Copies of this chain bind each other. A is one copy, B any other.
Amino acid sequence: MPGDTVLIIGGGPAGLYAARGVADLGTSALLVEKRERLGGAPLSEHYASFTPHLEDAQSAMNRMIDDVSSDPLIEVLLNTRVTASQGGPGNFQVTLTSKQGETRQQTVGSIIVATGFDHFDPGRETQMYGYYEFEDVLTLVDAEKMLKEKRFVRPSTGQPPKRVCFIQCVGSRDRRLGNEYCSKVCCGVASKEAIEIKELLPDAKVFIFYIDMRMYGFWEDQLYWKAQEEHKVNYIRGIVTEVLKRGDTLVIKGEDTTMGRPVEVPMDVVILSVGMVPSAGTIEMAKVLNLPRERHGFLETVGGPLDTVSTPVPGIFVAGAAAGPKDLEDSTAMGGAAAMKAVSAIRRAMRAATTAGGGQ
């Protein structure tokens, strides 16, 4: 029967979990990924490990990918985008366009959008932190890539840094830049990376400048206490307003708000804890699928806290950071809930069609 397939857009953790879930329910899934491989941000951005348990990101994602790729109910299309869609539950007509420009028409019963987030570009709006000026100013993502190679150095010298600091909330909680929300995961990710740096370079001093340490739930003792007590990471409540260069050393200027005094200290490496913004793919899918975006630019959902995956368009669901800042736990749980909803939507559409067609 046409329309008995769930289309899943995006092959990151949320999309992979959703595809697995749909197939586990006995329904066929079509997983479409615009990149040349599955794995989402953890693979395309070379994550070293996952927050909070420091599990190797590449092996964890490869397990999810293998699990999906080997399932006869799941078809994977790489290098492919959804470029048009019409119809409704049980009968969406979508156009899939490959990188080479080939198109394929496909009827699907329901759709899960799992197009993730992009990292905030710290040089886009402001040069306050010198990201594009100074080689030794990195983002969480740049640091992650080095940590994956188990080699953490000052890019300008290739030598291990003696002093490293993280600046939290770069592009988040900031009305001037337009991103008023908190990106939820950066406190955890910075703490995780700080631990990894200390493991590689036990003599390095590692500082985290923060406004509030948002280590909710078990992250508190699993990660935050561990970073402070076992790894001697220095958390400083304060605001860094500027990164300068003096000679070949970076200097950060700001205020230690706990001590109530100005701070001006040298650093070998500065890591900007960049937050989440709606991904290019999310914005594109909002247009193609006619999905409204909420005021921060992410996909709108309709159930408040009592339903985080239903969009205003019947038969279309969202999972993961396409709907706002989400951690991995959120992304996979939403992937599972969206799988349930998407399969249910097909079931409902089929029953309606059967009833309308007099049982045929």
Contact = CB atoms under 8 A, between A and B. Distances in A.
B180 A221 contact: yes
A338 interface: yes
Contact of A64 (B217, B306, B333): B306
Interface in A203-257: 212-221, 225, 237, 257
Interface stretch (A30-38, A47-55, A107-115): A47-55
B60 A340 contact: no
A257 B221 CA distance: 22
Nearest to A24: B344
Given A333-B330, A341-B336, A347-B26, A306 B217 contact: no
* Residue in A219, A307, A337, A347 whose Cβ sees the most chain B Cβ within 10 Å: A337
A216 B218 contact: no
Interface string A16-35: 01000100111000000000
A115 to B, nearest CB: 18
A308 interface: yes
B344 A329 contact: no
Interface stretch (A84-92, A137-145, A155-163, A320-328): A320-328
A305 B51 contact: yes
A40 to B, nearest CB: 12
A348 B24 CA distance: 8
Given A60-B306, A337-B21, A181 B328 contact: no
Contact of A347 (B24, B51, B173, B338): B24
A321 to B, nearest CB: 10
A150 interface: no
A171 interface: no
A5 interface: no
Nearest to A347: B26
Contacts of A99: none
Contact of A329 (B257, B259, B308, B341): B308
Interface string A129-172: 00000000000000000000000000000000000000000001
Quick one: which of A257, A327, A336 has the most chain B CB within 10 A?
A336
A219 B340 contact: no
Contacts of A296: 218
A306 B17 contact: yes
A337 B347 contact: no
29 contacts: A17-B306, A21-B340, A21-B344, A24-B344, A24-B347, A24-B348, A25-B25, A25-B344, A25-B347, A173-B220, A181-B217, A212-B214, A214-B216, A217-B325, A217-B326, A257-B258, A259-B260, A305-B327, A305-B329, A305-B332, A308-B332, A309-B336, A333-B334, A333-B337, A336-B336, A337-B339, A337-B340, A339-B340, A340-B343
Interface of A: 13, 17, 21, 24-26, 50-53, 55, 60, 64, 172-173, 180-184, 212-221, 225, 237, 257-260, 296, 303-309, 324-330, 332-341, 343-344, 347-348
